[in-house]
Amino acid sequence: MKIIVDGFGGDNSPAEVIKGARLAADEYGEEIILSGNEKKLREAAAKAGVSLDGIGIIDAQSEITMEDAPIEVIRSKKDCSMAVGLTALKDGRGDAFVSAGNTGALVIASRTYVGCIKGLRRAALAPIIPTDKGCYMLLDAGANADCRPDMLLKFAYMGSVYMKNVMHVASPRVGLANIGAEETKGTELQREAYKLLKASTLNFTGNAEPRYIPLGNFDVVIADGFTGNVILKLTEGVGLAFVSNIKAIFKKNVFTKLAALIVMPGLKDFKKKMDYSEHGGAPLMGIAKPVIKAHGSSNAIAFKNAIRQAIAFVGEGVNDEIAGSFPKDEESAE
């Protein structure tokens, strides 16, 4: 298996990307290929003291930055590490692609250079988010601000296949993000999507009120990209605020500091349980070949885990099952 990794995607590239690639190559035994300016990659590896033995490089002349308009990835920066890596993926030089780069650019470039699964025209950003009882997949988390009911239905099928195959949830519980549990809640989008989901073969468990999502009541939560992105960013913000407050409590005085020492093992376990980097990144569901969007601030461990996620995506045949999961009368809905 060959995993292509964007060498210049993310806030900590290329050093942390290179370190993560080395960790993944050593631990998983699969071939890792970096896309990016070869001279800069080798210089960064030497500076970090990381060997690139056994790691391939696909040379690319430029980079797409967070400040670039996403559309530039198919206009003025066709030679950037992201575009070159995705082109290599399409051409069969790799089995999956991982990038922590510009999210908008990755969505546009993936659809342009790789294309979507037959029967789909849209891709959904689908992060795996920790909960009290495990984790759930949220889709769409920002790739499509406006959605139609049939799009949400297809997102539900894709999320269910991923959670079943990769996360080994036997019958994923699907919830529709909404302001209340009743069928009549929400806008026309939610009400119409509810009808489609209820009539489907999915394990649809009804509307997902946001307060119950972190408790682990759902394995897949479906939303339009605007709503999903709000849920994602609010979840991240609450997590940061929670950690900050816990730290402040334990630093109050000598007694609280002693208490911190006593509960430290439990706190470390909790931190690991709720850490996004443990899950790697967000699959871009619906693209013809596996694409993983790693968090922009990913460190080496997060990159390693994103690569592990890409390996599982390929190995479990997720896309093949997605392609055959939609009922025949839905295939032309887009």
How far apart are alpha carbons 310 and 267 in whole angstroms? 29
pLDDT of 107 over the 50 cut: yes
Task: Please report how many Cα atoms fall inside a 13 Å half-sphere around the Cα of residue 276, on the Cβ side.
Answer: 21
Q: What is the pTM of this model?
A: 0.90
From the number of C-beta atoms within 10 Å of its C-beta (0-12, 13-18, 19+), residue 146 rates as exposed
pLDDT of 276 over the 80 cut: no
Peptide bond preceding 14 in cis form (omega within 30 of 0):
yes
How far apart are alpha carbons 140 and 124 in whole angstroms? 5
Q: What is the CATH number of domain 1-123+286-334?
A: 3.40.718.10
Q: Give 3-state DSSP helix, strand, coil % of the chain, rounded to 5.
A: 50, 15, 35
pLDDT of 167 over the 60 cut: yes
pLDDT of 182 over the 70 cut: yes
What are the tens digits of pLDDT across the range 22-33? 999 999 999 999
Tokens of 280: 């790697």
| 142 contacts 225 by C-beta, under 8 angstroms | yes
Please name the helix (run of DSSP H) or strand (run of DSSP E) that holds residue 98, with its range, or none: strand 96-99
What are the tens digits of pLDDT across the range 187-201? 999 999 999 999 999
What are the tens digits of pLDDT across the range 303-318? 999 999 999 999 999 9
pLDDT of 126 over the 90 cut: yes
| 95 contacts 1 by C-beta, under 8 angstroms | yes
Give, in degrees to the nearest 5, the angle at Cα 312 between 310 and 314.
70
Class of domain 128-276: alpha beta
Domain boundaries, the chain: 1-123+286-334, 128-276
Domains 1-123+286-334 and 128-276 fall in the same CATH topology: yes
Q: Could you tell me what percent of the chain has a pLDDT over 70?
A: 95
| 129 contacts 135 by C-beta, under 8 angstroms | yes
pLDDT of amino acid 291? 97
Average pLDDT taken over every residue of the chain: 91
